[in-house]
Structure 1
Amino acid sequence: MKRLLCAGCGCWCDIKRRAMLLNGVTATLFFNNSISTAQILSMSVFFGGNRMNSNYVTFNHPDENLGGLSNLNLDYPIAVNGVRMPTAEHLFQGLRYRSAMIQAATISVEHPISARRFAASKAFRDQTCERWRQNQLEIMEFCLKTKLLWNWVKFGRLLRSTEGKTIYMLSTRNEYWGVLACNDGFVGKNHMGQLLMKLRDELLSDNNEHLRTLTPPQHLDLKFLGQPIQAKDRRDHVRQVGIRTTEMVNALRP
């Protein structure tokens, strides 16, 4: 069976499965060695990669169109308690642990895929915070709001571009955060897509003032590098930014 590292999700994806997801003819050609792995990848991006139509948008690869919806995209840095991180994924994986040492090591990893793998390593997996296990959706929502707070113009524009459309995060194996493509559409819970749509709809509402401040859910007692996560109020900053370019926003980030 042919396997290779996927640039989009960072996992060892099954190319046989991609062929099956496209159609039966493609799968037959693949199994008969009449079509290459590279061609399968090319077609899988075309049929199931980042795209938009009249009813829905899909995303997977962080470096392609709509890739900013992914927490693996490095163009949306964030900050918590004055500490800057490359992505919201770093924060989500760091909050998996209460240990300040493990958190610091996780957020210091440059790439979000590597940070995810580091946080899931067997060396300290048994130290995973039970509240993180039980409240992943709420914690991820907090991370996405943090991403928007620090990237109000750029991420906000991307979310607005999906107005009225269902957002699906495509995956090759994760039916919890994303969906799997099949002949009849998509299969999976799509929790990431659901959270993004919720955030988008809040942003598009007449009153989105609450998104310009960020307070962690108190009942989760989130700690970051040994300290409680402090509330952040950027209302004045967002008003001043207005319609300035993203480059100017970057200059104002911590």
Structure 2
Amino acid sequence: MSYESRQYDIKHCAAFKRTREKWGELSNMAGGFPVAVNGVPIKSIEALYQACRFPHLPDVQEKILFQGSPMTAKMVSKPYRESSRADWDEVKILIMKWSLRVKLAQNWSRFSSVLIESNNMPIVELSNKDDFWGAKPVEEGIYVGVNALGRLLMQLREQIKSNNRSSFINVPPLEISDFSLYGHAIKCVTESDISILKPPQNDMFDV
């Protein structure tokens, strides 16, 4: 992905800032998209992404993944940012792209639906201060930024249009050094892994 800034007229975009507004489910902060990686239940993609900063610090990963909301997971990671993996700037786009694939694989119906509903509109994360992952306002209705998250979502949307569901149910691990969770190498994530988060059904003859 090139890092050039782009300009967006948000009247013609699937633009999101608050998770409860239209297109908010595209945000990494949106609730209701739990995932499971290596058998570990994770409440949000934001928590997963932040945990991937610290493969060498399992205790920090645990603090992040223990949080009840995506925003608190992000805030808990902040004091440790200077201890992020040494190649973080080189791999963060790859990790975000992988994280979105995990979100899709394990929340197919809901996440694919909102992506397809955005049709061919530019997808833009609106921000007042982050013009890398999102875009910032420069005048009324006009935002400028790299919009890296929005562009990754648009790429994923095009892939969904061109492939059937079976292409997305398995997410291989990234081929980068020390891609791990709690000291164990991250394995292929599958659609069925999410079943660990669902309570077992009571047998109909139980009393």
TM-score, normalised to structure 1, is 0.68
Instruction: State the distance in 2 between where 1:251 and 1:126 align.
Output: 36
Q: Counterpart in 2 of 1:57?
A: 14
**1:105 pairs with one of 59, 63, 77:** 63
Which protein shows a greater Rg?
Answer: 1
Count of matched residue positions in the alignment of Structure 1 and Structure 2:
187
Unaligned runs of 5+ in 2: 1-8, 201-207
Q: Deviations over 1:145-189 (max 9, x none)?
A: 111111000011011101211101100110000001233722110
Distance 1:219 1:108 in 2: 25
Identify which of 203, 214, 234 aligns with 2:160: 203
Q: Name structure 1 gaps, 5 residues minimum.
A: 1-47, 238-249
Q: CA RMSD in A?
A: 2.3
Shift of residue 251, structure 1, vs aligned partner: 4.5
Contact 1:132 1:139 in 2 (8 A): no
Identity within the alignment, %: 27
TM-score (structure 2 length as normaliser): 0.83
In the aligned structure 2, how far is the partner of 1:102 from the partner of 1:208? 34
Q: What are the within-5 Å matches in structure 2 for residues 174-189 of structure 1?
A: 174-183=130-139, 185-189=142-146
Could you say which residue in structure 2 is the equivalent of 1:145? 101
Distance 2:82 2:41 in 1: 27
1:118 and 1:227 map into 2 onto residues whose CA distance is 22
Deviation at 1:208, TM superposition (A): 5.2
Q: Secondary structure at the match of 1:135?
A: helix
| Structure 1 residue 80 corresponds to structure 2 residue 37 | yes
Kindly indicate whether the alpha-carbon contact (under 8 Å) linking 2:173 and 2:189 is maintained by their aligned counterparts in 1.
Answer: no
In the alignment, the residues of structure 2 paired with residue 177 and residue 125 of structure 1 have an alpha-carbon distance, to the nearest angstrom, of: 17
Amino acid across the alignment from 1:129? R
Aligned to 1:125: 81
The amino acid across from 1:86 in the alignment is: K
User: Counterparts in 2 of 1:156-235, with a 5 A limit?
Assistant: 156-183=112-139, 185-207=142-164, 209-234=166-191
3-state SS of 1:138 partner: helix
Give the distance between the partners of 1:212 and 1:163, measured in 2 at CA: 22
Rounded to whole Å, the distance in 2 between the matches of 1:220 and 1:195 is 22
Deviation at 1:224, TM superposition (A): 0.6
